[in-house]
Structure 1
Amino acid sequence: MIRIRWYAPLFVFYWMISLHANAQENSSAATLIRDIYSNWFNDRPFAYQECDTFFYSDKVDTAIMNKVKANFLSDKEFKEWDPDQAAYVKRKTRFTLEERRYIVAQLDLIKNMKWPAKMFPFAYMIPLEKVDPLLTKTDQSKLKPQQKICMEVHHFSSPIFLRNNTLCFFYLGKSTIFSKEGAFWIYEKIEGEWKRLASIYEWSVANTGKYNKEIDFFNIP
C-alpha cells in the first residue's frame, strides 16, 4: 500500500510538466511520487536518524525501461497479486490493443524524462550516470557504517494512468552500496489508496562478493 500524504510544491511541479493530463491524474501522480519521500522520512530506523538527506536520480535507466517494455509486449496478461495471501493468484489482468499501444508510447516518453533538483525538502538529486561512481566512492571511504548506509539513491518513473485513473503503471528502484533493485508494478486504486495489482518487471543485483550477479525474477534459470 502506498500512503497518501500532501505535499503542495510537488503537485505544482507535476502540474507544470503534465498540462496534457487532467487534474485527477495530476493529483494522483503527485501523491505517488511524494509518498516515496514520505515513506523514506518516516520509515528510517531510529539508529540512523542521521540519514538526513533523500537522494534520488534524475531519471530511470533506459535499459530498465526497455526491459519493462519488452516484458509488457511479450505478455498478454499479468497474474494479480493478493496481499492477503502474499502470493500471485489465478486472476489475471488483460489490456486491449488500444491500451497496450498507449502504455508503450508512455514508456517511450519516460526514457527521455528527467526530474529536477530540489523536488523535496532535504533532498539531493544525482545524475544517473554519477550514481555508481558515488556509491563506489562512498563504499571505499572512511565514513562510519551508519553514514554509508545513508547513501541510498531512489529511482522512480513518471506514473502512467489508465481506465479513468483507476490503474497506474509505476517504477520504483533503489541503489545502495550493498545492492540495487527495482520493480515496475501495476497499481489499482482501492478506496482512495494505491495497492499493488500485478508485476511487469522486477530485478535485483548484489554489489559485492559471490552475489555480484543480476537476478532477473522473470527469467530464472
Structure 2
Amino acid sequence: MTIRHHVSDELLLDYATGALSEGWRIAVATHLALCPQGRRRLSLMEMAGGVLVREHPPEPLRSNDDEAWISIKKRLGVSEMQPAVLQADDLAVRGGAVVLPEPLRSYVGGDLESVKWRPLGRGAYHMPIELEDESTKVRLLRIPAGKPVPEHGHRGRELTLVLSGSFHDGEALFARGDLEEADETLQHQPVATEGEDCICLAVTDAPLKFRSWLLRAIQPILGI
C-alpha cells in the first residue's frame, strides 16, 4: 500500500496539540494508523513540542492535581475519547473482510462486514457514526464501482479517507489510506474506480452544497 495523499501540516499540528474535535480526530488518527510517514511526522512534531516545554519553566499549580488536569484538558480541547494512533495490520484484508484500523474499528463495532448500510440512492450507501461531540458529522460511504458522487461544493471543511477501493477526483487518484482535505474553494465530483466499490470515511462540519436541486430538496432527510 502506497499512500500519496497525506494529512496537511496544519491539521496534523492541531491533532498533536489536541485542538481537534472528535470527528476530525477519528479521521486523522485512522489515516495515521495506515500511514508510516504520517506517524513519523507526528513524532517529530511531538518531539519539537517537548523541547519547547523543557525550555519554559513550569508555573506552580493553583489547585489540586485532579482539578488542574481537568482544566488543562479543557484548555487543550482534549476529551476522554481522544483516539490513540495505533499501527495498522500489515494485511488490508483478513478472512475476506477489509480490516479497519483503530480507532475507527471501535466506533464501527468491527470491520466492514459489521457495517449496517443505509441507502443513499443511485446504488450508494452510508452509515452515520455516532459521536459525543456534535460539531461534526462522521459517516462511512460506499460508492458503487465506476459511479460518481453527485457534484458538490462545501460550506466548511470535509475530510475523506479511503478505506477500500479508490476514487478519482479530477486528475488525482485516492486509494486506501489516502486523505483528501476539501474546503469552500473546492467544487468536485469524485468517481469510484472500476472493479471495486469505494468505501470511505467522510467527516464534515457543515452541509454540502449540491448542484442538483433534487438533492438539495432531500438533503435534510439524508443528513449530508
TM over 0.5: no
Q: More strand per residue: 1 or 2?
A: 1
Q: TM-score per shorter chain, which class?
A: under 0.3
Highest Rg: 1 or 2?
2
TM-score norm. by structure 1 comes to: 0.24
Q: More helix per residue: 1 or 2?
A: 1
